[in-house]
């Protein structure tokens, strides 16, 4: 009942040649040195039997598994599925399979999952959940495994990264708010242990300073996580200690939390306070008010990181670009309007 999957041996028996001949015939590179007729017979037998190479055996022998690991914080966060599709779109046609792991942004889990990937001999890792201080992944890199970080980066280790143009994005929203007349602009910053959080905060400070905005310490509230609850907490702290006319949030989820607080307190958005996000998650156009935000190329980021990794895996001698920056766009929706007259 349970039919065994055919192996090279089965084809060899069928065609009356040796296993190694079959192996060569089926490999496009070595197949050239085999008589055309024999190759034809072998290939014919191969698909008659429905032969599929056993990747485990290949991997064990060649030390290449054609598998890559994708580490993300949490696939239920809507910005990651498109990244995965982008990654797959380049990897799958090349014959790579992807093993996905969710770290939940916890260092301990991440370390454990790195080992899971290593046990499986992944040829490379796309890391979209890297922490700013991440000794484990540095160890992996030093061990010779190609790694590229996505969205975030580790400084000073020369690990290639594919990121969005955070600085530009912050400037775009900030400029937009300024143009609308805002002068007291607050920032709900992302977590300090993530490079995106830190980068956007820095970009905010320098751009705001350039524009000549006043920036009291209270103008920047630091979230501990990129989620709605922290967005709420920071917004409440903000409203209780300052009187901004606009809140620039480090990502959309923080902004959603901000909107909730404003609504609860009966503060009109955008009438009294404008709010902006970052990432352009799905559905932001359907909520009310639509959230003005920065669109990042999620699918593109996935593609780029995969292309980069493939290059690192297949041409280890060439040096990969240490930083690939993808463009971003400002998406204007309903959550920004001129500040109320004072």
Partner DNA sequence: TTGTATGCGTTATCAT
Partner DNA sequence: ATGATAACGCATACAA
Nearer to DNA, 11 or 328 (CB): 11
Q: What is the rounded CA–CA span in Å between residue 142 and residue 315?
A: 17
Query: HSE of 29 in the Cβ direction (CA atoms, 13 Å)?
Result: 0
Q: Which of 44, 47, 48, 57 binds DNA (CB under 7 A)?
A: 57
| 14-53 footprint of DNA as x/- string (CB under 7 A) | --xxxxxx-xx-xx--x--xxx--x------------x-x
Residue 97 sits in the site that holds DNA (CB under 7 A): no
Nearer to DNA, 315 or 323 (CB): 315
- Token readout for 151 is 């969205």
Q: How far is the CB of 2 from DNA (least distance, A)?
A: 13
Residue 9 sits in the site that holds DNA (CB under 7 A): yes
Q: Which of 44, 48, 61, 325 binds DNA (CB under 7 A)?
A: 61
Residue 322 sits in the site that holds DNA (CB under 7 A): no
Longest dimension (CA), the chain: 92
Which of DNA, a copy of itself, none is residue 217 near (CB under 5 to 8 Å by kind)? none
3 state DSSP class of 161: strand
| Residues of the shown chain interacting with a copy of itself in the complex, contacts defined by CB under 8 A | 1-3, 5, 52-57, 59-60, 65, 67, 74-76, 78, 80-82, 84-85, 88, 92, 97-102, 115-116, 118-121, 142-144, 256, 282-283, 286-288
Q: How far is the CB of 146 from DNA (least distance, A)?
A: 19
User: ∠ CA(237), CA(243), CA(247), 5° rounding?
Assistant: 70
- Token readout for 313 is 């895996």
User: ∠ CA(299), CA(303), CA(307), 5° rounding?
Assistant: 170
Q: What is the rounded CA–CA span in Å between residue 298 and residue 16?
A: 52
| C-alpha dist (Å) from residue 178 to 137, 187, 276, 291 | 40, 14, 13, 17
Q: What contacts 35, CB < 8 A, 6 or more positions away?
A: none
CB 301 within 8 A of CB 326: yes
CB atoms within 10 A of CB 213: 18
Nearer to DNA, 49 or 100 (CB): 49
Nearer to DNA, 62 or 318 (CB): 62
Q: Which stretch binds DNA (CB under 7 A): 7-15, 75-83, 90-98, 325-333?
A: 7-15
Which residues here bind DNA, judged by CB under 7 A?
4, 7-9, 16-21, 23-24, 26-27, 30, 33-35, 38, 51, 53-54, 57-58, 60-62
């Amino acid at each position: 009942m349970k039919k065994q999957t055919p192996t090279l041996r089965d084809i060899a028996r069928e065609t009356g040649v040796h296993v190694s001949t079959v192996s060569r015939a089926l490999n496009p590179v070595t197949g050239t040195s085999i008589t055309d007729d024999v190759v034809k017979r072998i290939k014919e037998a191969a698909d008659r039997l429905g032969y599929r190479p056993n990747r485990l055996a290949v991997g064990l022998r060649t030390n290449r598994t054609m598998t890559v690991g994708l580490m993300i914080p949490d696939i239920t966060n809507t910005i990651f599925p498109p990244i995965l599709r982008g990654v797959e779109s380049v990897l799958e046609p090349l014959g790579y399979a992807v093993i996905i792991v969710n770290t939940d942004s916890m260092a301990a889990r991440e370390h454990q999952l790195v080992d899971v990937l290593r046990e499986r001999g992944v040829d490379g890792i796309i890391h979209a959940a890297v922490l700013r201080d991440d000794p484990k992944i540095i160890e992996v890199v030093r061990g010779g495994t190609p790694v590229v970080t996505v969205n975030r980066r580790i400084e000073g280790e020369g690990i290639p990264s594919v990121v969005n143009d955070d600085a530009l994005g912050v400037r775009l929203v900030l400029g937009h708010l300024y143009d609308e007349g805002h002068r007291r602009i607050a920032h709900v910053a992302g977590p300090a242990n993530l490079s995106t959080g830190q980068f956007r905060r820095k970009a905010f400070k320098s751009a705001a300073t350039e524009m000549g905005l006043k920036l009291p310490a209270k103008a920047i509230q630091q979230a501990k996580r990129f989620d709605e609850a922290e967005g709420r907490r920071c917004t409440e702290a903000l409203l209780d200690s300052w009187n901004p006319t606009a809140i620039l949030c480090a990502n959309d989820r923080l902004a959603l939390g901000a909107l909730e607080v404003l609504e609860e307190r009966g503060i009109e958005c955008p009438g009294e306070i404008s709010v902006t996000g970052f990432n352009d998650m799905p559905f932001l156009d359907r909520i009310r008010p639509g959230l003005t935000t920065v669109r990042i190329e999620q699918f593109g980021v996935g593609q780029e990181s995969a292309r980069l990794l493939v290059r690192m895996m297949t041409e280890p001698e060439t040096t990969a670009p240490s930083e690939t920056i993808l463009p971003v766009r400002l998406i204007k929706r309903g959550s920004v309007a001129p500040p109320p007259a004072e």
